[in-house]
Amino acid sequence: MRYDATRDLLWLLARPWTGLPRLIHVLTSLLTLSVMLLSQGSSLDEEVQKRLAKRLFRTLTNLGPCFIKLGQALSTRPDLVNRAWLEELTSLQDNLPAFSHATALNTVEEDLGAPAAQLFEEFPSKPVAAASLGQVYKARLHGSHWVAVKVQRPELAFILRRDLVIIRLLAVFSAPILPLNLGFGLGEIIDEFGRSLFEEIDYEREADNAERFATLFNDDQTVTIPRVERLLSSRRVLTTSWIDGTKLRDPQELKAQHLDPTAIIRTGVISGLQQLLEFGYFHADPHPGNMFALRGKSKGRGHLAYVDFGMMDSISDYDRLTLTGAVVHIINRDFDGLAKDFQALGFLSPNINLTSIVPALEEVLGGSLGETVGDFNFKAITDRFSELMFDYPFRVPARFALIIRAVVSQEGLALRLDPEFKIIGIAYPYVAKRLLAGDSIEMRDKLLEVIFDKNGRLHLERIESLLQVVSQDAAAADAELIPVAGAGLKLLFSQDGATLRSRLLMTLINHPYSITTANFCTIK
């Protein structure tokens, strides 16, 4: 129940009768699929694309859970994957072939100590959904409510252990010929993936995750987390309250249920930002099968439910604050500060000279920013950034593997529901409001860092930029300029604002002409 790359490699090498046939099967399947995709992938024939999509689905399904997880990640990227393939890949989320119902019943009885017929008033003869690691039944408690009962696939630890060794070997041997410059080896990224997968198949850990995640959104009526039924849960069986909602697959399906896709996206993005930049604990697998739209709307935001808490991760306070600052540096076009952020996060070596990096960042990001925050082209950045990582000594720290997965999945989901969606259009106003309100010590420190330079000079244009972003976002009912400005003024004259007042006073004393008439005119 624990991933260990070295131990698992030795384990498989000692069992060549297990490893060699599987390696041959994986290589044959992937090479055959690659040849088909390369030879026919550019075809304009719709029927050809449908056949390729079905072949892709069958190949990944036949190869098992590790490969299905890859397909699930691709299913959230409508900007990268052919639309005909996307529909088939989406089925990997919860529409896979189910395993034997008798096996599921045996697992329930072994783990919970009694047959399902005794534990539940109603237990169906087939699951309502089957995913890569388990399948879900809609059951009813005795004289009570409906619940979701997730039962794990058989022999899952063995399968994951075997396939992760093979995937890691293939990645390490193929890395030198791949057009990648990750800095860290692909093996380390796969190790992170392996650790998260083994955590995901421990349903007792998932129950803990769900309860911890629920406490973070206790006061947020737009986000719902199912309640764990502890007496009916174990390492291989997890029972939670049933979520009756609409999956985030198709905007037309949402509209047919009288749900607003844009409001749902907004809730998903803001809750994702809260997880990464505020709570430091996040859902690392936010694909459409793990999120449901619920009825209702609060202050311009739709109601959303998360399920499946097997793949969760934490981010350190240091990384969290640095990421917050990076968002501000991007929009303020402070590429020197952004380069230092990348260095602090480990994407650049601490010993590297940033002189050549800063102009490269400005070239890649500057043209993508547009005139306003709403014009920020995130996909253009990801396209160009791959070139930047190859030409310059950027690397991807292993600890960011799940963070990147979560952000990419979140953006892909949003693009699926709204192709014109721009994630930074919500991300930056969120950060700007928190900075201006100074709602925590760390935000007050970050605000000082943003509006004062290293010589203590006040940058009024940066305050103006923050206010402008918030006011532009005021079209949304939950983003009003007056409450934010009021919170900022309250901070300025409160005990918590002592440092800010002191810095402003020192600026007037030491740099009486640093606040120019031109600056005042600009703000006016």
Active site residues: 285
Cα 164 from chain centroid? 22
> What count of other Cβ atoms lies within 10 Å of the Cβ of residue 27?
12
Which bin fits 308, alpha (ψ -120 to 50), beta or left (φ > 0)?
A: left
Contact (CB, 8 A) for 347 and 397? yes
- 242 three-state secondary structure: coil
- Which helix or strand (DSSP H or E) is residue 70 part of? helix 65-74
C-beta of residue 338 within 8 angstroms of C-beta of residue 394? no
Number of other residues whose CB lies within 10 A of the CB of residue 100: 9
Q: Are 376 and 370 in contact (CB under 8 A)?
A: yes
**Helix axis angle, 65-74 relative to 156-174, nearest 10°?**
60
- In this structure, the number of other CB atoms found within 10 A of the CB of residue 257 comes to 12
Task: Find the distance separating the first CA and the last CA of the chain, reported in whole Å.
Answer: 62
What angle do the packed helices 83-90 and 65-74 form, to 10 degrees?
130
What is the spatial distance between Cα 517 and Cα 245, in angstroms, rounded to a whole number?
56
Q: Which two tokens stand for residue 252?
A: 């037309």
Residue type, 100: S
List of residues 6+ apart from 363 with CB closer than 8 A: none
The CA distance from 487 to 449, in Å, is 19
Write phi, then psi, for 466 (nearest 5 degrees). -60, -45
3-state secondary structure of 373: helix
Cross-strand partners of 228: 240
- The number of beta carbons lying within 10 Å of the beta carbon of residue 124 is 14
Is the CA virtual torsion 59, 62, 63, 67 positive or negative?
positive
Three-class DSSP category at 452: strand
Instruction: Say how far apart CA 206 and CA 298 lie, in whole Å.
Output: 29
Distance CA 266, CA 425 (A): 10
- E-assigned strand segments in 461-521: none
